[in-house]
């Protein structure tokens, strides 16, 4: 056990790896950490990735360093469990990522020209990734789109893959028509199971509409969530000035306060 390294404030990556190893030590480690598995840690990994994204979206640069550290720790945790199981080490993770980046950037690390557009680089990137998928025996168009992705993000990735082979509406108008069709089918659904299915279809086609319009549906929904939060807090603040809470109000009054908050936001935007 390297206690000097663990307490070295400038120990960098080796220090973090040693701390993780100690946390998982069967005799002296942390009971909680020892109980964890890939499956139990995975939700935390997803949560930490979102917290990084949230800090960036809020431009909270003072928080970003810590959030990136939390996300890095997730990789270290998974790699330690993999090492214990004889699967791979953290160094192998880092080397594999380095190999991938070198292979995917022949215009930087190889002899290909850098004199090409961003669109051409994107096409080249997709060609390289297709070759990688083929090497993994992922021959289906949709193979390799991770099941654990957020549903809206996965929907867009599935649609993009299908679009590459021509399975896509040519214009946004046709997607709009499909949205209307799915809305009608949702209205006509007669039981919970049918409504569940049609609601999913509507969300899927809305994700496709966003893709056609160049809108990230996940980002758009996050922005809508933030807007709802701002305006509802404005309702709470307005009621608090009267010594009241939302449960002391009614829909008509809160709707009027919502419209007032909306008007203030529009005025502030100029």
**How many CB atoms within 10 Å of residue 108?**
10
Q: For position 25, what pLDDT does the model report?
A: 96
For position 133, what pLDDT does the model report? 65
d(CA 109, CA 120) in angstroms, rounded, equals 17
User: 270 or 2: whose pLDDT is higher?
Assistant: 2
Task: Assign 241 a pLDDT band (cuts: 50, 70, 90).
Answer: very high
Q: 162 and 141 in contact (C-beta within 8 Å)?
A: yes
pLDDT of residue 55: 92
CA distances from 125 to 87, 118, 155 (A): 28, 10, 21
d(CA 133, CA 145): 11
User: In this structure, what token pair is assigned to residue 45?
Assistant: 């990994």
Query: For position 110, what pLDDT does the model report?
Result: 87
How far apart are alpha carbons 270 and 230 in whole angstroms? 18
Structure token digits, residue 116: 């090409």
CB atoms within 10 A of CB 72: 14
Q: Say what the pLDDT of residue 48 is.
A: 94
CA distances to 239, 252, 262 from 244, rounded to whole Å, are 5, 15, 21
Q: How far apart are CA 165 and CA 171, in angstroms?
A: 16
Tokens of 17: 């790896």
pTM of the complete model: 0.62
Question: pLDDT of 242-259, one tens digit each?
Answer: 999 999 999 999 999 999
CA–CA distance from 262 to each of 77, 247, 255, 267 (Å)? 45, 21, 10, 9
Q: Tell me the pLDDT band of 63, cut-offs 50, 70 and 90.
A: very high
Q: Quick check: 217 pLDDT over 80?
A: yes
Query: Can you tell me whether residue 209 is helix, strand or coil?
Result: helix
149-171 pLDDT tens trace: 888 989 999 999 999 889 999 99
Tens digit of each residue's pLDDT (9 = 90 or more) over 81-121: 999 999 999 999 999 999 999 988 888 898 877 777 777 77
């Amino acid at each position: 056990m390297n206690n000097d390294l663990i307490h070295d404030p400038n120990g960098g990556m080796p220090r973090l790896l040693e701390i993780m190893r100690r946390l998982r030590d069967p005799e002296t480690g942390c009971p909680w950490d020892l109980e964890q598995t890939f499956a139990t840690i995975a939700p935390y990994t997803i949560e930490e990735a979102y917290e990084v994204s949230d800090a960036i979206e809020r431009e909270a640069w003072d928080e970003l360093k810590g959030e990136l550290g939390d996300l890095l720790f997730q990789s270290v945790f998974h790699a330690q469990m993999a090492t214990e199981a004889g699967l791979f080490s953290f160094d192998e993770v880092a080397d594999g990522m380095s190999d991938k980046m070198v292979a995917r950037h022949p215009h930087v690390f190889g002899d290909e020209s850098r004199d090409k557009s961003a669109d051409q680089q994107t096409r080249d990137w997709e060609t390289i990734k297709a070759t990688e998928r083929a090497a993994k025996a992922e021959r289906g168009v949709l193979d390799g789109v991770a099941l654990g992705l957020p549903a809206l993000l996965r929907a867009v990735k599935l649609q993009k893959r299908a679009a590459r082979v021509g399975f896509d509406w040519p214009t946004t108008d046709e997607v709009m028509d499909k949205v209307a069709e799915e809305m009608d089918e949702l209205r006509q659904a007669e039981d919970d199971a049918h409504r569940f299915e049609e609601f999913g279809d509507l969300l899927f086609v809305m994700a496709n509409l966003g893709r056609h319009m160049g809108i990230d549906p996940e980002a758009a929904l996050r922005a809508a969530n933030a807007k709802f939060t701002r305006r509802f807090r404005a309702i709470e603040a307005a009621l608090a000035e009267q010594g009241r809470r939302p449960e002391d109000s009614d829909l008509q009054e809160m709707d009027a306060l919502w419209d007032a908050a909306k008007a203030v936001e529009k005025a502030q935007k100029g």
